[in-house]
Structures are given as structure tokens and as C-alpha cells.
């Protein structure tokens, strides 16, 4: 591999489903908002970045790229002029710091800063916020690969504590402090989602309360939307559709949904899924139609947070429609949305692939296609089938439905043998 290539940028683009042309369009839009003039980038400009021919874009272009990605240029593999590599500066702490936990290390630094007779407190700035945002992007990527894992929840919670501890480790402007609270709320919301996805609902509620308080202190509309929208999903999984609608309505009535149709679309798509769980056929179809319309009106060049860019697109809209119509018992429509979702899923959405495939198997079985449904269910990767709580439960329910539908059949026997052999836990 060419050592000069910007592999960090290439990985980010692959993770977020960007081609060279689509990233150029997004950065051009951000440039126009920054400068009042449309940007002149095209696909060849981005290919020059990826090839390493442009190591440090011009300041306005660089800021526009950072607005689009939510990451500092250095984290995207660019090298400031005058430096030959991205090698980190020499460590300023003693080697023993490496063996301390992140939170403990920052807490110690804060205590040292407050101690009498020591140097003045350090200045906390946007570079600290950018570092946390990079870590947040890593949590998001891990969630979409694995989903629901306790390790993701614990890591996100620890990073939320790190962001809060940073508040007390030095002086900062109000803008920086608001951004630190937003970072802490973002990490807490990811811990909340991992707990929901892993069916650890009591833990999810605890993360939700902390995330909501932090979001209020940050004033960040987008993260408030994420937290309340997640709350709606949690209550839907708990079988409490009235609470789910109430929580999702809080998200849907935030100002960000009036400013950005994509947020409005996500709120409506989740409303459709909740209406499906509540057996409201008219509400389900109406919310889906409005969600689709809002998505078509959304400008892909608008700046959005990394968590939104990482997952919400046409495939996710169809995934939520699949959930809604499956709950309603409209299995033919559910199957339609399942196939449409699977055809558009981005490669990094591995958790979503497993969930959608499992729901497709349920829709096929409910229509009497036991053989096809079993083949579909058997295509779910064994790691998702055994390690993701929601997928495991849905596959167990699939097996029970299959045995009830076709007891003693060769298809049921094939499924039993598959679960015994493919899901066997290594000794």
C-alpha cells in the first residue's frame, strides 16, 4: 500500500457511505454556508485528498470538511504544514499515567490543578472537544458493527464521565463548556442505546436520566432529539406504546425537526413503528408516508451530527417500516420493506443487517413460506445470533413459530440442527 495515501479519510468515507463525489458535494454545501460562495470541489479533489497529494487543505475548505464530518482535520489523516507526519507529541505525563483509567487520570489532573501552590489551571478548548468527538465517532462505528454489547455501554459511560471531569480540570469559555456537556450527553445517549439494544432496560433508564440532564445543560437540540427518540424506542420494546408515543413526540416537537426535514423524517419513521406496535393501521401508514416525504425534502448537503449521518437513510426508514408492518400482521408489506432495506444497507450496518434478516424470516414464515424463511434465518451470522440480545430472542421466537407451523417437518429439523451446530459456544 502507498504509504502516502490518506487511509484515515478513506476509512471515514467507507464507514459513512460517501463516494468522492458525494463528499465533494457535502463540503461544497458547507463552504457556501461558511463563506456565502459555492465551493468548487469535485470528485477528483477528494481523490487527491485520499491519494495524499493534498496533505493540508486550505483553511475554509478544511473548516467545511470538519463541519461535515464532525472531526478535526488531523483525525481525518491530514498533516499540518511544517510537519512530516502525524506522530503524537512527546508525552507530558509520567509513564504510570498509561496504567490509570481515563476517568481516574483526568480526575487526578483536576485535583492537581485545584491544589494550592501549583501552576494555574490549564485552559480547556475546542481541541479537547474535538478529541472527544473523535472518540464518539469510534463508539458509533463500534455500535453499528456489534450493537447491544455491554462493553460498548461501559465504554460510552466512561467517556461521558471523562467529558464531565474535563469541565473541572481547567478554565474554559461558555461555548466550550456547552460543547463538553453535549459530548457527555452524546456518550450517555450511546450508553443508553447500547443498553436498549442489549435489552438491559433498567440500565437504559438510568443512562436516559443522566443524558437528559446533560443535554439540557448543553442546549444542543440534536442530542436532545436523539435521547428522546431513543426513549420512544425503549418504551416500544417494553410494550408501552402510549409512553413511546409521548417520548417520541418530545423529540418530534423540538426546533431541529422544523429546521431539518431529515430529523422530522426520523421522528415520523419511529412514530410509524410505534403505531404499528399499538395496532394503529391508519397511523402507521400515515406516519410512514410523511416520513418518506420529509426524507425526500431533506438536503443531503446540510450539516448533521455524526450519529445521524452514520445510520439514518432510506434503508433505515424501510427497516422501521418493516418493524411497523410486521407488528401489524401485514406480512406482505413487511417483506417488501425488508427487501428494500437489505438492498440499500451500507456495509458498516452489520447489526441492522442481522435484525432486518431476522425480521424478514418472520415475515416469510407468517406467509407460509417455511422453507424460504428457514434459509433466510440461517443466513444470520452466528455471532449476531448468539451475542446480540434482540437478534437472539427474535431467532428463538422464529424457531418456536416454525415448530408450531410445521411440527416434525424436515425444515424444522434442519433449523434445529443449524442452531445446534452453528450456534455452539466454543468450550
Tens digits of pLDDT across the chain (427 residues): 444 788 778 877 876 778 888 898 888 888 887 787 878 899 899 999 988 888 889 888 988 888 888 777 877 888 876 554 444 433 333 333 333 333 344 334 334 434 444 445 678 888 889 999 888 988 888 887 777 788 889 999 999 999 998 888 888 899 999 999 999 999 999 999 999 988 899 999 999 999 999 999 999 999 999 999 999 999 999 999 999 999 999 999 999 999 999 999 999 999 999 999 999 999 999 999 999 999 999 998 888 998 998 889 999 999 999 999 999 999 999 999 999 999 999 888 888 999 999 999 999 999 999 999 999 999 998 888 888 888 999 999 999 999 998 888 999 999 999 988 877 644 3
Q: Is 426 among the domain residues?
A: no
196 and 128 within one domain: yes
Q: Is 304 among the domain residues?
A: yes
Secondary structure of 312-341 in HEC code, one letter for each residue: CCHHHHHHHHHHHHHHHCCHHHHHHHHHHH
229 and 209 within one domain: no
Where is the domain boundary, 44, 59, 76?
Answer: 76
289 and 276 within one domain: yes
Q: Is 368 among the domain residues?
A: no
Residues 52 and 6 sit within 8 Å (Cβ to Cβ): yes
234 and 213 within one domain: no
How many whole angstroms separate alpha carbon 51 and alpha carbon 230? 39
Q: Is 131 among the domain residues?
A: yes
Domain extent for 247: 221-312
Where is the domain boundary, 312, 347, 368?
Answer: 312
Q: What is the structure's pLDDT at 120?
A: 53
Cell numbers placing 40: 468548487
Looking at the DSSP bridge assignments, the partners of residue 248 are: none
Looking at the DSSP bridge assignments, the partners of residue 296 are: none
Q: What is the structure's pLDDT at 82?
A: 59
Q: What is the structure's pLDDT at 368?
A: 94
Cβ neighbours of residue 67 closer than 8 Å, sequence gap 6 or more: 30, 33, 34, 303
Q: Is 146 among the domain residues?
A: yes
Tell me the CA distances in angstroms from 90 to 126, 256, 327, 368, one per residue in order: 21, 42, 57, 65
282 and 212 within one domain: no
Q: Is 422 among the domain residues?
A: no
How many whole angstroms separate alpha carbon 302 and alpha carbon 332? 35
Residues 191 and 149 sit within 8 Å (Cβ to Cβ): no
Q: What is the structure's pLDDT at 114?
A: 41
226 and 203 within one domain: no
CA dihedral 394→395→397→398, nearest 10 degrees, is 120
181 and 159 within one domain: yes
Cβ neighbours of residue 199 closer than 8 Å, sequence gap 6 or more: 148, 237, 389, 390, 393
Q: Is 19 among the domain residues?
A: yes
> Number of folded domains in the chain?
3
203 and 260 within one domain: no
202 and 147 within one domain: yes
Q: What is the structure's pLDDT at 26?
A: 87
Q: Is 173 among the domain residues?
A: yes
Q: What is the structure's pLDDT at 121?
A: 63
282 and 243 within one domain: yes
227 and 212 within one domain: no
192 and 244 within one domain: no
Q: Is 123 helix (H, G, I), strand (E, B) or coil?
A: strand
Where is the domain boundary, 312, 333, 368?
Answer: 312
Amino acid at each position: 500500500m502507498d504509504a502516502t495515501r490518506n487511509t484515515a479519510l478513506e476509512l471515514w468515507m467507507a464507514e459513512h457511505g460517501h463516494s468522492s463525489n458525494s463528499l465533494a458535494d457535502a463540503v461544497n454545501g458547507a463552504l457556501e454556508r461558511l463563506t456565502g460562495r459555492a465551493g468548487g470541489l469535485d470528485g477528483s479533489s477528494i481523490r487527491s485528498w485520499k491519494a495524499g497529494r493534498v496533505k493540508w487543505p486550505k483553511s475554509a475548505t478544511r473548516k467545511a470538511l470538519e463541519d461535515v464530518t464532525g472531526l478535526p482535520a488531523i483525525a481525518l489523516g491530514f498533516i499540518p504544514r511544517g510537519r512530516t507526519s502525524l506522530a503524537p507529541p512527546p508525552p507530558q505525563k509520567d509513564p504510570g499515567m498509561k496504567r490509570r483509567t481515563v476517568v481516574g487520570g483526568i480526575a487526578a489532573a483536576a485535583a492537581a490543578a485545584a491544589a494550592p501552590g501549583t501552576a494555574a489551571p490549564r485552559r480547556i478548548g475546542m481541541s479537547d472537544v474535538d478529541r472527544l468527538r473523535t472518540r464518539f465517532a469510534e463508539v458509533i462505528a463500534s455500535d453499528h458493527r456489534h450493537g447491544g454489547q455491554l462493553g460498548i455501554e461501559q465504554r460510552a459511560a466512561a467517556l461521558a464521565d471523562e467529558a464531565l471531569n474535563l469541565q473541572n480540570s481547567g478554565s474554559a469559555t461558555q461555548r466550550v463548556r456547552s460543547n463538553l456537556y453535549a459530548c457527555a450527553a452524546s456518550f450517555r445517549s450511546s450508553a443508553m442505546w447500547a443498553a436498549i439494544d442489549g435489552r438491559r432496560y433498567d440500565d437504559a433508564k438510568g443512562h436516559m436520566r443522566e443524558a437528559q440532564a446533560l443535554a439540557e445543560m448543553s442546549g444542543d437540540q440534536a442530542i436532545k432529539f436523539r435521547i428522546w427518540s431513543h426513549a420512544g424506542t425503549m418504551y416500544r420494546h417494553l410494550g408501552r406504546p402510549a409512553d413511546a408515543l409521548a417520548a417520541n413526540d418530545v423529540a418530534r416537537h423540538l426546533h431541529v425537526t422544523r429546521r431539518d426535514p431529515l430529523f422530522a423524517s426520523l421522528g415520523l419513521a419511529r412514530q410509524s413503528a410505534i403505531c404499528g406496535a399499538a395496532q394503529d393501521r391508519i397511523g402507521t401508514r400515515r406516519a410512514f408516508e410523511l416520513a418518506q416525504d420529509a426524507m425526500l425534502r431533506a438536503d443531503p448537503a446540510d450539516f448533521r451530527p455524526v450519529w445521524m449521518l452514520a445510520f439514518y437513510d432510506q434503508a433505515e426508514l424501510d427497516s422501521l417500516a418493516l418493524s411497523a408492518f410486521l407488528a401489524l400482521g401485514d406480512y406482505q408489506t413487511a417483506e417488501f420493506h425488508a427487501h428494500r432495506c437489505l438492498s440499500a444497507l451500507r456495509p458498516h450496518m452489520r447489526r441492522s443487517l442481522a435484525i432486518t434478516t431476522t425480521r424478514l424470516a418472520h415475515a416469510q414464515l407468517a406467509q407460509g413460506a417455511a422453507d424460504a424463511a428457514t434459509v433466510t434465518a440461517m443466513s444470520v451470522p452466528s455471532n449476531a445470533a448468539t451475542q446480540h440480545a434482540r437478534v437472539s430472542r427474535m431467532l428463538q421466537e422464529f424457531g418456536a413459530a416454525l415448530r408450531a407451523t410445521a411440527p416434525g417437518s424436515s425444515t424444522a429439523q434442519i433449523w434445529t440442527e443449524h442452531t445446534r451446530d452453528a450456534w455452539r459456544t466454543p468450550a
